[in-house]
Amino acid sequence: MTGKQIFLRNKTTYNCSGKLIDISQPQVMGILNITPDSFYDGGKYEEESVIIHRVSNMLNDGADIIDIGAYSSRPGAKHIDEKEELQRLINALSVIRKQFQHAIISVDTFRSNIASYVVREFQVDMINDISAGDMDKAMFETVAKLNVPYIMMHMKGTPQNMQVNPSYDNDVVFEVIDYLAKKTAKLNQLGVHDIILDPGFGFGKTIDQNYEIFSRLNEFKMFELPLLVGVSRKSMIYKYLGSSADEALNGTTALNMLALERGAGILRVHDVKEAKECIKIYNKINQFKQNK
């Protein structure tokens, strides 16, 4: 049996430019926002030295993947053109690839031209698309040619309008699953099987809708694909608790533990050390469950 055959049968093992990620063990994706207006850490990571320090800290804390975003997707964020997004990425990736050659890098973009460029020029390992191909119809065919794992998220609308009275005709979980199922089928037809699913917490959902989806994460196991959960310091936590993003680490950790229990394979977080500790405790508990 060849390595490729093993890969195709085991949807938890993904090949990232020759580096294997085994998502049967939960992974941590550390967030690097190189935007001036992200909801939590916008404007912090623009200087080269600060970027190096941030990535170094995340890797030292145990990050398995570094996810770089140059387009702010917070609710109501300013739209920027492709040229500006690409320039931000070039500046950051030039530094990161020089300093951290073996790091597994994901780029958070919905633009197919940018996806092609960063994979070709910087050997980016994964593409993370908040729009699941809806904001750039060429993305699916591009990902098929790039042959890198593709993170596909559900979003209702665009970052500019997604939180303007989000509503669903049917059961919100059914609609998200149905949306991702149709997208997965299209990708499979193009020969793309290296897919990771993201329900899109905070992207076109009310607080109650976010928590309903979270409570039913087990239903996403039907896909037999890795599930990424990104709730780090989001408003579904701090608005519900009446606090702020700066005060939302405790709530984030609570949800991350519940996400692991419901089958999450990747936790996308700002706080890597705390997420790794969460996984370590989760694995310790599971050790005794498996021994029964």
CATH of the domain at 178: 3.20.20.20
| pTM for the model | 0.90
Q: How many structural domains comprise the chain?
A: 1
Point out the catalytic residue in the list 268, 273, 280, 292: 268
**Could you tell me the two tokens for 148?**
């890198």
Measured between alpha carbons, how far is 198 from 267 in angstroms, rounded to an integer?
10
Cβ atoms < 10 Å from Cβ of 218: 11
Show the domain range for 224: 3-291
Residue 138: C-alpha distances to residues 145, 176, 178 (Å): 11, 22, 21
State the DSSP string of 97-112.
HHH-TT--EEEE---H
Point out the catalytic residue in the list 234, 239, 273, 292: 234
**Could you tell me the two tokens for 98?**
């020089």
The closest of 75, 259, 140, 135 to 127, measured between CA atoms, is: 140
**Helix, strand, or coil here: 21?**
strand
Active-site residue flag, 234: yes
Sign of CA dihedral 82, 142, 176, 238: negative
Q: What is the residue-level pLDDT of the chain in tens, covering all 292 positions?
A: 233 332 333 457 787 877 777 878 899 999 999 987 554 454 455 688 889 999 999 999 999 999 999 998 777 667 889 999 999 999 999 999 999 999 999 999 999 999 999 999 999 999 999 999 999 999 999 999 999 999 999 998 777 666 777 778 889 999 999 999 999 999 999 999 999 999 999 999 999 999 999 999 999 999 999 999 999 999 999 999 999 999 999 999 999 999 999 999 999 999 999 999 999 999 999 888 766 6
Active-site residue flag, 120: no
State the DSSP string of 255-289.
HHHHHHHTT-SEEEES-HHHHHHHHHHHHHHHHHH
